[in-house]
């Protein structure tokens, strides 16, 4: 496969290494050092680092700024971009700016609706105006246009291509499950080079969906990274099973966590096992690990999963 962009993530995948990406949530404030500290903790553990874009619609440092700080620390970012807060003008402008600053991977997602911002302890911004000018699949097409044709959505050209390694999300176990592989196909057709999935806990169900994608030829066209959210407690697993759409947690996993004397270390064990299991699924090219507000758990997990050291891809 000839390289489209040459980002480290793309090179790792193109050389056939099992890729590791991890999530870095920006702080709820303007503190660059908070991002740098996470960078120091996580450096060398992954091939690329996702910087979330105001996840759950809660205001945080922007993903574009967070990604730039990681870049300055020597980590390769995957800038996440949602469709929630920007119209097509702002989206394209931010993409040009991100590329100008050296950001090369971007994940396109629709984003949690602003109503989600008031679901937890925070007031959030449930009264904010809705944007959703374009959807995540249209965003993929826009990014492909900027890269492959140096053309904007409206048809105007840009002076030179903004070449991103283009990512998309996939929720294989979201209803209607029969349609999810087709929707993945739309994302791949729109321009997705790599896919990061919703969190996997039910490996057989996940594998069945990946098999469909494989049969449709999608796993050759885009690299699928299985998403894993590091569980820290039985309550967290229960919450995700009940409240996070598309996340299915088998009862056995919840019981196992409940029975554990040290739920945190059990969470590390479960994550390592999940990594090893999804690794066996034909068509899975890597893992995307999320240790939400618990990034310090990641070094042990990645080490114990035998994923260190990370490969140094050729130039």
Partner 1 sequence: MIVAEWKPIPEVVEKLRGHKKVLVVGCATCVAECAAGGEREVETLAPLLRMAMIKDSNPIEVCTNTLERQCEWEFVEGLAPTIMEVDAVVSLACGIGVQALAERFSEVPIYPGVNTTALAIREEPGLWAARCVACGDCVLGETLGLCPIARCAKSILNGPCGGTRDGGKCEIDENIDCIWHLIYERAQARGKVDALLEIKKTKDWSNSDHGGPKRILREDLRL
The contact set with partner 1 (CB under 8 A) reads 83-84, 88, 109-113, 115-116, 130, 132-138, 141-142, 153, 169-171, 174-176, 178-179, 182-183, 185-186, 189-190, 198, 245-246
Q: Which of 153, 133, 137 is nearest to 192 (CA)?
A: 137
- Cβ-based nearer residue to partner 1, 42 or 228: 228
> Residues 189-226, buried b or exposed e (16+ Cβ, 10 A)?
ebbbbbbbbbbbbbbeebbebbebbbeeebbeebbbbb
Closest approach of Cβ 152 to partner 1, in Å?
A: 11
* Tokens 């009862």, residue located: 251
Please report the beta strands in 25-76, taking only residues with DSSP state E, as ranges in sequence order. 48-51
Closest approach of Cβ 88 to partner 1, in Å?
A: 6
Closest approach of Cβ 9 to partner 1, in Å?
A: 21
- Cβ-based nearer residue to partner 1, 132 or 208: 132
Asked if residues 278 and 9 have their Cβ atoms less than 8 Å apart, the reply is no
Instruction: Provide, for the chain, the percentages of residues in helix, strand and coil under a 3-state DSSP scheme, each rounded to the nearest 5.
Output: 45, 15, 40
- Cβ-based nearer residue to partner 1, 6 or 174: 174
Angle 42-48-52 from CA coordinates, rounded to 5°: 85
- Cβ-based nearer residue to partner 1, 83 or 284: 83
Closest approach of Cβ 154 to partner 1, in Å?
A: 9
Closest approach of Cβ 242 to partner 1, in Å?
A: 9
User: What are the two backbone dihedrals, phi and then psi, of residue 309, each rounded to the nearest 5 degrees?
Assistant: -75, 160
- Cβ-based nearer residue to partner 1, 99 or 170: 170
Give the CA dihedral 142, 58, 275, 302, nearest 10 degrees. 110
Asked if residues 188 and 237 have their Cβ atoms less than 8 Å apart, the reply is no
Closest approach of Cβ 141 to partner 1, in Å?
A: 7
- Cβ-based nearer residue to partner 1, 69 or 249: 249
Closest approach of Cβ 110 to partner 1, in Å?
A: 5
- Cβ-based nearer residue to partner 1, 134 or 307: 134
Query: What is the rounded distance in angstroms from the CA atom of residue 242 to the CA atom of residue 50?
Result: 25
- Cβ-based nearer residue to partner 1, 186 or 269: 186
Closest approach of Cβ 183 to partner 1, in Å?
A: 7
Kind and range of the H or E element at 48?
strand 48-51
The sign of the CA dihedral 69, 35, 48, 206 is negative
């Amino acid at each position: 496969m000839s390289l489209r962009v040459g980002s480290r993530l793309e090179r790792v995948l193109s050389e056939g290494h099992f890729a590791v990406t991890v999530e870095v949530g920006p702080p709820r404030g303007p503190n660059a050092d908070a991002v740098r500290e996470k960078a120091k903790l996580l450096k060398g553990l992954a091939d690329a680092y996702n910087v979330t874009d105001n996840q759950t619609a809660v205001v945080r440092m922007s993903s574009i700024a967070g990604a730039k700080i990681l870049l300055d620390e020597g980590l390769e970012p995957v800038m996440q971009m949602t469709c929630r807060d920007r119209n097509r003008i702002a989206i394209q402008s931010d993409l040009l700016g991100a590329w100008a600053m050296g950001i090369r991977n971007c994940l396109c997602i629709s984003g949690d609706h602003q109503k989600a911002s008031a679901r937890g302890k925070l007031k959030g911004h449930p009264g904010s105006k809705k944007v959703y000018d374009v959807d995540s699949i249209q965003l993929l097409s826009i990014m492909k246009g900027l890269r492959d044709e140096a053309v904007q959505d409206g048809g105007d050209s840009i002076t030179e291509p903004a070449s991103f390694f283009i990512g998309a999300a996939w929720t294989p176990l979201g209803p209607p499950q029969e349609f999810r592989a087709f929707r993945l196909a739309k994302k791949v057709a729109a321009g997705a080079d790599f896919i990061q999935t919703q969190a996997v806990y039910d490996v057989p169900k996940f594998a069945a969906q990946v098999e469909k994608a494989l049969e449709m030829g999608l796993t050759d066209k885009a690299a699928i990274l299985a998403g894993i959210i590091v569980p820290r407690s039985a309550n967290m697993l229960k919450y995700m099973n009940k409240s996070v759409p598309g996340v299915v947690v088998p009862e056995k996993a919840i019981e196992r966590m409940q029975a554990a004397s040290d739920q945190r270390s059990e969470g590390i064990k479960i994550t390592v096992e999940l990594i090893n299991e999804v690794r066996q699924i034909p068509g899975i090219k890597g893992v995307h690990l999320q240790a939400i507000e618990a990034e310090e758990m990641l070094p042990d997990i990645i080490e114990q999963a035998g994923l260190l050291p990370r490969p140094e891809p050729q130039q």
